[in-house]
Amino acid sequence: MRRHARLVKGFTLIELLVVIAIIAIVAGLSLSVISKSQASRGQAESAARLRQWSAALSAYVSANDGDLPRRGQGVQPVTQLTRPEDWFNALPPYLGQPGYGTLVSTGRRPKAAEQSIFVRPGAKDPGGVAFLSYAMNMNLSPWNLPAPTKSTRIEQPAATVFLAESPGPYSSTYPSKRAYGCVTPYNGRGNILFLDGHVGVFDADYLGVGKGDPQRADVRWLTGTESDAQAGNY
């Protein structure tokens, strides 16, 4: 009878606490797995969008005698959206899509979670004039040069950054402590599109996110052209 009475009473306080702890651990592990899965999926989808930009870049360079598009504005949030030479206006037509300036002027500014080549998965809209979650290498084909940079002048196109994932209101980016610095939004990893057209994924430390250009041999923000003289300002 005593044994039966103990069973009827159910769990002791210690047993209940153990069960709760086990549930919490399982829930934490499940959330971690889900988070990693979402990050992996987002990173893959973002890389796919960068490959679209790669196709557009190749077509643009071929059609423009080797010229690269301009980077757009530099260290300031982008407000100038009408120049056809800026990458965000110059490249989309080669994908059969309107330029960013056209989208904004016609009330179709891309939004967060939208299936847009301008918006990476998981990006948050920072508000303001522009929402570009990809940005061009700050040091590549800037407007302070009298003419667009020729692709043939880049010393190592397979290692030179063209586009990187970025905070949102900027058309140009660089590994920097400043607000325009490139980001690695997928569990500390991010995608880079190189001038030769391939996409790579890298850790934040390797790219110098929030620190500055670590001058890696395989991830070059310098171009080997006269624009390198300004790189120390970024």
pLDDT at 121: 95
Distance between alpha carbon 184 and the CA centroid of its chain, in Å?
A: 7
Chain segment 158-176, per-residue pLDDT in tens: 999 999 999 999 999 999 9
pLDDT at 12: 82
Q: What is the mean pLDDT of residues 48-74?
A: 98
Q: Are strands 134-137 and 172-173 parallel, antiparallel or unpaired?
A: parallel
For residue 18, give the 3-state DSSP assignment. Answer: helix
Q: For residues 36 and 165, which has the higher predicted lDDT (pLDDT)?
A: 165
Chain segment 107-130, per-residue pLDDT in tens: 999 999 999 999 999 999 999 899
pLDDT at 112: 94
pLDDT at 38: 73
Compute the chain's Rg from CA coordinates. Answer: 24
Q: What is the mean pLDDT of residues 183-212?
A: 97
Residue type, 224: G
3-state secondary structure 147-174: CCCEHHHCCCCCCEEEEEECCCCCCEEE
pLDDT at 14: 81
Distance between CA 212 and CA 221 in Å, rounded? 11
Would you say the C-alpha torsion 141, 234, 102, 132 has a positive or negative sign? positive
Which residues are CB-neighbours of 188 under 8 A, at least 6 positions away? 203, 204
For residues 162 and 136, the answer to whether their CB atoms sit within 8 Å is yes
H/E segment holding residue 51 = helix 13-63
Distances 51 to 56, 108, 191 between C-alpha atoms, Å:
9, 23, 11
- Tell me the pLDDT of the chain averaged across its residues: 91
DSSP 62: H
Chain segment 150-159, per-residue pLDDT in tens: 999 999 999 9
Q: For residues 196 and 26, which has the higher predicted lDDT (pLDDT)?
A: 196
Chain segment 76-102, per-residue pLDDT in tens: 999 999 999 999 999 999 999 999 999
pTM value? 0.85
pLDDT at 13: 76
H/E segment holding residue 200 = strand 199-203
pLDDT at 132: 96
Q: State yes or no: pLDDT of 34 exceeds 60.
A: no
Res. 36 pLDDT band, cuts 50 70 90: low
pLDDT at 61: 98
Q: What is the mean pLDDT of residues 198-202?
A: 98
Percent of the chain with pLDDT over 70: 90
pLDDT at 23: 75
